[in-house]
């Protein structure tokens, strides 16, 4: 049996890209439910690495009559996430972007929103990495140009600050849950029972997955096809 995915997270789930691509989803509000604000920004290339900075604020406490200062823990500061996003307009990778247009699209997604009178909250989704943030800083470095001076390649250096509210814990857990539909692309050497084992930890569900995707011959699935692996009630 394949149940429906509905409720407050349905709009977010439907905005997620094909597996493997990082999405930055602008949010109009985060509480009491997350409400999307426009289309997500899908990165052209996933970052090769990213850094996470955690910090705890301490304040000195000096006992009366003593010169010594003991550091007392006060509060844990929000985490900071630093990414580099490459935008390539040369077409060398097979996907060609117009760099200036892509930068404006990124900025319109992450920066100040007049109707909100602030930067929008951002839901960053990349595999099991799911975090709600706001943009702290953006530095654009242009690295290649056409003969007329227009940019052909740029690197966006970004820092996001985590924004967590109680209600978003439900959204995060739901997006990471195996009870939601999962998309997988067929690579060379894949077969449906093997992929079912990876998704459900059980290869026996290949017939239900085949039916859900309208596949009549599960032994002959072309490479590059994207399949939906819906939530299944295991018997």
**Band (235; pLDDT cuts 50, 70, 90):** very low
Query: pTM for this structure?
Result: 0.61
Whether residue 220 lies inside any domain: the answer is: yes
User: Do 157 and 192 sit in the same domain of this protein?
Assistant: no
pLDDT tens digit sequence for 185-215 = 787 778 888 888 877 778 888 888 888 888 8
Residue 144 backbone phi and psi in degrees, to 5: -155, 145
User: Do 15 and 112 sit in the same domain of this protein?
Assistant: yes
pLDDT tens digit sequence for 120-156 = 889 898 877 888 899 999 999 999 999 999 999 999 9
Q: Is the pLDDT of residue 175 over 90?
A: no
Structurally, the chain folds into a number of domains equal to 2
Please give the residue range of the domain that contains residue 156: 10-175
User: Do 152 and 91 sit in the same domain of this protein?
Assistant: yes
**Mean pLDDT, the chain, as a whole number?**
78
pLDDT of amino acid 104: 95
Percent of the chain exceeding pLDDT 70 equals 70
The two structure tokens encoding residue 231: 């939530």
Exposure letters 12-41 (e unless 16+ CB within 10 A, then b): bbebbbeeebbbbbbbeebeebbebbeebb
Q: Is the pLDDT of residue 31 over 60?
A: yes
């Amino acid at each position: 049996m394949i149940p429906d995915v509905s409720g407050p997270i349905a709009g977010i789930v439907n905005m997620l890209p094909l597996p493997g691509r990082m999405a930055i989803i602008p949010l109009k509000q985060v509480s009491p439910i997350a409400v999307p604000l426009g289309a997500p920004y899908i990165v052209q290339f996933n970052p090769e690495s990213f850094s996470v900075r955690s910090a705890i604020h301490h304040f000195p406490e000096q006992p009366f009559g003593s010169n010594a200062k003991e550091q007392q823990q006060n509060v844990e500061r929000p985490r900071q996430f630093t990414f580099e996003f490459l935008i390539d307009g040369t077409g060398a990778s097979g996907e060609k972007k117009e760099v200036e247009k892509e930068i404006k699209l990124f900025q319109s997604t992450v920066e100040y929103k007049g109707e909100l009178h602030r930067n929008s909250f951002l839901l960053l989704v990349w595999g099991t990495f799911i975090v709600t943030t706001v943009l702290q800083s953006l530095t654009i470095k242009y690295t290649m140009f056409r003969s007329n001076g227009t940019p052909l390649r740029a690197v966006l250096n970004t820092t996001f600050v985590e924004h967590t509210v109680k209600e978003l814990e439900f959204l995060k857990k739901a997006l990471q849950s195996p009870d939601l539909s999962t998309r997988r692309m067929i690579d060379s050497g894949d077969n449906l029972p093997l992929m079912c084992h990876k998704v459900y930890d059980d290869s026996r569900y290949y017939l239900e997955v085949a039916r859900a995707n309208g596949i009549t011959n599960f032994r002959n699935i072309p490479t590059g096809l994207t399949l939906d692996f819906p939530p299944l009630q295991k018997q």
